[in-house]
Chain A
Amino acid sequence: MEFGRRWALVVLGLSCSVSCHDTTAPPAPIVYEPSWTYKCVPDEGCHRSAHPQPGANSSSLIFPSLDLCRTVCGRFGGLWPRPVTAALSTQTVRIHPNFLRFDLSNAPVETRDILVEMTHVATQNLIDECDGNVSVVVETPVVVYITVKTTNLNLTLDTLEQYRLDVQSKESNAVIHIVAETVYGARHALETFTQLVSSDKLDDGEYRCGLRLVAGAKIWDQPVYKYRGFLLDTSRNFIPMDDIKRMLDAMATVKMNVFHWHATDSHSFPLESKRVPQFTRYGAYSAYEIYSAEEIRELIHYARVRGIRVVIEIDSPAHAGNGWQWGQEFGYGDLAVCVNARQWRGLCIQPPCGQLNPANPTMYRVLRDLYKDIAEYLPKPALFHMGGDEVFLGCWNSSEQILTYMESRNYDTSVDGFIKLWSEFHEKALNMWDEELTALGQEEKQPVMLWSSELTQAHRIQKHLSKDRYIIEVWEPINSPLLVQLIRLGYKVVSVPKDIWYLDHGFWGQTKYSNWRRMYAHTLPRDPHMLGGEVAAWSEYVDSQGLDTRVWPRTAAVAERLWADPNSGAIAAESRLQRLRARLGSRGIRADVLSPQWCAQHDQHCV
């Protein structure tokens, strides 16, 4: 959709008509015109009426639609993640997006371009509540006054995301005040605002849909953890750009702020590098399974408008194979070793194998070119992930060239010797990255992320990896002491406990499926070094087809854990999560169903 870039008082009313096409509903089936109503029962949630009611209308705590009931019922209504404090009215007022206006006069000029885009997203989300057609029109003016206090547009670990949101309404108008330190806080507030709105459509086949806004609200909110991430692996299977964007839409809905893009692996290399076109030529599954430079830049902007920072990962020195196999052909020698080795056991964790060749100086030259491209892609200040997991010493040990190189460096061929080789790789890689960022005018050195590994074991890490430079992403299971050890040693950490927050578990080997309640129940230490957590969608067993249901709504459970870290458990959260699932559906995300619909219509009856 094309929107003009206007920065003063922006009226969205007319531009929405572009999308307000007529939606023809399925024909009304039969004569069952009466419909269920839903009653808000304090501390329980929404319950379906015993009998269908003719001409269902809202009264104090009786609602004609389940979504509407959930939007006002309970302390946090239908909000996900729950805010720090909220006071919500149980009354609602009808609104229509054509009469919604955003006032940016209290936002610095520098912030208005992106704020305009953010308001467009919010408006579209409102329209989506009615599946693209808000057919019940009211002319009540709704004005959202947005105050942003700083001009800083950087997304970093120190970005201030808090916001204040006030909704006041009378018969004749509704006024919303948003106050935030940054545009990203304002974005979160806009997201919360859209979650105070529900359609009142009846599920009776006849299509009429209006929007209702909670008549009064006072919300103050800020996240508990700075890093609230979602990892997507686009190498084991290619994930089309539209699907990635849909993941970002859902992340924005639940206020996650880091998209960790595991872009490459030994299986395929879909990320375009202008300087080294061979990566995709030799590494992509096909010419149609490539992310072009233009698409990458567009995605990064798309993410920023949704308050999300993109962290690209180029996993190395292991998990690199296809895409690196052309060295000999170009006279560069082996850039990677044991690529696609048929007898893979012992050389890598899963086929196809591949590990960068640290004995080949040309490999570093090629890697530097890739880093240049990535440094140009990433928004400043850049956060880059260098991988660093699952290095198989046996792979390096199978290469004569590497063994000769190690001898020249006086590394013996014990584990310690290989660790030195590995550590040397990371040192060189970090130096190159620093130099490339400096070349682009970035003065301060930026932190780099690495997976936990043999190298990051508590007794070893300090020798090899500086705590001032690396953020360690710990993927060990929850019973591992590593996370706490690293915090004690002063490392900044991000937690992705594989037995809880890996979405592929339960579909292979002896792994166990993590249901949303279990994912929700897991808590992280509260420590300044504990930056946050991440949910990981590894893609061996998922591609475009199954992505939505694999990822959502389970990832939302972790999003609330990281944003709000509530003391209460999953049972108290379930009715809000049911509301979220419906919301994701209206925004085009096919989230998995939580329970029989009967349970959704009878909160707390299925425990």
Chain B
Amino acid sequence: MWRHSIVFCVVNLLFVLQCVSTEEQPAWHWSCGDGKCVKSKHDPKSSEPALSLEACKMFCNEYGMLWPAPTGETDLGRFLSKININNIEIQILKRGKSDDLMQAAGRRFKGLVGLAVPLGLTPKQTGKAVYVYLVNENPDVKEFTLSDTDESYSLRVSPESNERINATIFANNFFGIRHGLETLSQLIVFDDIKNHLLIARDVTIDDKPAYPYRGILLDTARNYYSLESIMATIDAMAAVKLNTFHWHITDSQSFPFQSTKRPDLTKYGAYSPAKIYTKDNIRAVVDYALERGIRVLPEFDAPAHVGEGWQDTNLTVCFNAQPWQSFCVEPPCGQLNPVRDELYEYLEDIYSDMAEVFPTDIFHMGGDEVSEKCWNTSVEIQQFMQQNRWQLDNEGFLNLWNYFQTKAQDKVYKAFGKRLPLIMWTSTLTNYVHADRYLNKDDYVIQVWTTGADPQVQGLLKKGYRLILSNYDALYFDCGFGAWVGSGNNWCSPYIGWQKVYENSPKVIAQEYYDQILGGEAALWSEQSDSATLDGRLWPRAAALAERLWAELPTGWQDAEKRMLHARERLVRMGIKAESIEPEWCYQNDGNCYA
């Protein structure tokens, strides 16, 4: 699905074309000097070859316009060849179960090539043919496995003859092939001076990601997102080789997930009957994502962050309690009542409903921001704790939480039919001082949302836990707007610029425990975001995260800025309403702004 929109920022690339014909119109061209493309006036009478902005950018930088930067050998050559957009052949050399995915990736590739051409223009139908060979060593692989999925690929582009260019992608499975196609699409540019599609002709790229888990979290409970906007997000993720869409699908504010086993949860929990993710909807998202090399990771946040949907079950405590500040972090409050046996039947049903539509290799159990005070409002809970000889203190409530978590964990395994890795948010339960009393490090991955400098990170690493970093000081994309409750700006203000996202290095944070870091994830909590704002909140900042996690370069944002500006333009061409990060003048005048 390609969302074409009337995008003026792309047509700026055409003007030279128009101008060269009339002598009074100065045309601009670019030349590469000192790693920057320099804009200058083009004399149409001159016999010097004139480079368009993108043609200049292709070779003016070690990584050209690639985003994320490849991690292995990268040689883009020095020449661009004219190619014919109508003569691109994709050949799948080894057949297997992932054929449908490979074909979908091929279609996506052709779509991306088409997007290189500004709207309304037709490039010349001359130039060489491009034969793309996809060499997939394991064509039967089509599932993710956490930390074992090999996403590497090698790409070779070379002229075969005067009429033909060969591009070959070698990979160990569909996921690598797909990434290779993404890279290949970024080696094709439209030259507005020649009105031609061009490809980098002599290319060698060996590439693989630094981290296996590269995600975006979307919270669809605080506000609902249209399916279309979710699909668009997945499209953009694929363009920058992110691989996990973490779906925080429910929370205390709403329950838009369709539970067929417990339909009242959805009926009472959705904002409206139209704002439900049906099982068919979810399957469509999952399929769409897989074709783009992305897993959809469901989260059922519990035992806190529940509320709407559970009204009539009698299985929650302090639902919508006032003053909410005493019982939860934001209205409406709500927490599951762990002492009710019936609760675990509900959980098993919810997990089963999820297992039915999310064929996932990992599962997220939430587990953040549990309020002792909330549980403590229930006499029933107090009595249960006393029967178990637990004090009504921190430790007692941790025991209660652990009681819940252990039972819930079993239900997840039962529902999914396997002991799949589980993820939990950092919380008082995951405090490294005692985490191993409650959570087995082989069962659980901890997702860190405190700051990168929090001693918890080192503490958990020392205890052997595997971590996913979503440290809020760099990766919470909801920060920086007005507080929606209370006064002032929201709690994690200020807004986090792309530069900070880019420089948030898991390697630096984890140091010697680097190999226990599975990756990172940007989180878009949706108290102040919905379909209208989604693109702008996520993009292009999530692209900065994508390069950090894919390449983990030792360099800072300054070295990435020129490519980043182009990555943003690429997203805009895909129909993503990415924020502007600099004046257009900076895009046309490399390295003259801020750096």
Contacts and interface: CB of A to CB of B under 8 A. Distances in A.
A106 interface: no
A32 B266 contact: yes
B535 A515 contact: no
B533 A592 contact: yes
Contacts of B330: 606
B331 A35 contact: no
B588 to A, nearest CB: 7
Contacts of A332: none
Contacts of B412: none
Interface string B570-595: 00100011111111111011001110
A540 B580 CA distance: 8
Interface stretch (A112-120, A172-180, A280-288, A463-471): A280-288
A590 B199 CA distance: 38
Interface in A6-39: 26, 28-30, 32-36
Contact of A598 (B253, B532, B536): B253
Given A32-B267, A507-B495, A543 B584 contact: yes
Contacts of B230: none
Interface in B493-542: 493-495, 497, 526-530, 532-533, 535-536
Nearest to A605: B331
Contacts of B14: 286-288
A352 B529 CA distance: 34
Given A541-B581, A544-B7, A596-B223, A518 B482 contact: yes
Contact of A52 (B11, B267, B487): B267
Given A285-B585, A593-B223, A351 B485 contact: no
A545 B253 CA distance: 29
A325 B14 CA distance: 22
B12 A288 contact: yes
A561 B581 CA distance: 31
Contacts of B579: 541-542, 545-546
A268 interface: yes
A36 B533 contact: no
Interface stretch (B236-244, B272-280, B401-409): B272-280
A52 B266 CA distance: 11
A377 to B, nearest CB: 22
Given A29-B274, A513-B495, A242 B11 contact: no
Given A32-B273, A267-B585, A597-B224, A506 B494 contact: yes
B456 interface: no
A281 B11 CA distance: 16
A606 B331 contact: yes
Given A242-B6, A286-B11, A351-B593, A597 B528 contact: no
Interface stretch (B18-26, B123-131, B465-473, B558-566): B18-26
Given A30-B258, A549-B536, A597-B224, A352 B585 contact: yes
Given A545-B580, A598-B332, A289 B278 contact: no
Contacts of B486: 607
Could you tell me the dominant secondary structure of chain B's interface residues?
loop
A597 to B, nearest CB: 5
B152 interface: no
A597 B589 contact: no
Contact of A240 (B6, B527, B532, B589): B6
Contacts of A548: 532
B32 to A, nearest CB: 17
A545 B272 contact: no
A202 B14 CA distance: 46
Nearest to A239: B8
A597 B577 contact: no
Interface string A340-360: 101000000011100000000
A515 B25 contact: no
Contacts of B481: 506, 513, 515, 592
B482 A513 contact: yes
B268 A52 contact: yes
Interface string B321-333: 0000000001110
Contacts of A602: 332
Nearest to A241: B8
B278 A599 contact: no
B539 to A, nearest CB: 9
Contacts of A543: 9, 580, 584
Nearest to A598: B253
B13 A286 contact: yes
B15 interface: yes
A61 to B, nearest CB: 20
A2 B11 CA distance: 29
A230 interface: no
Contacts of B26: 281-282
Given A204-B273, A242-B6, A596-B527, A342 B581 contact: no
19 contacts: A30-B276, A32-B266, A204-B272, A238-B8, A267-B583, A267-B585, A350-B593, A352-B589, A507-B497, A513-B494, A540-B583, A541-B582, A545-B572, A545-B578, A548-B532, A592-B481, A598-B253, A605-B332, A606-B485
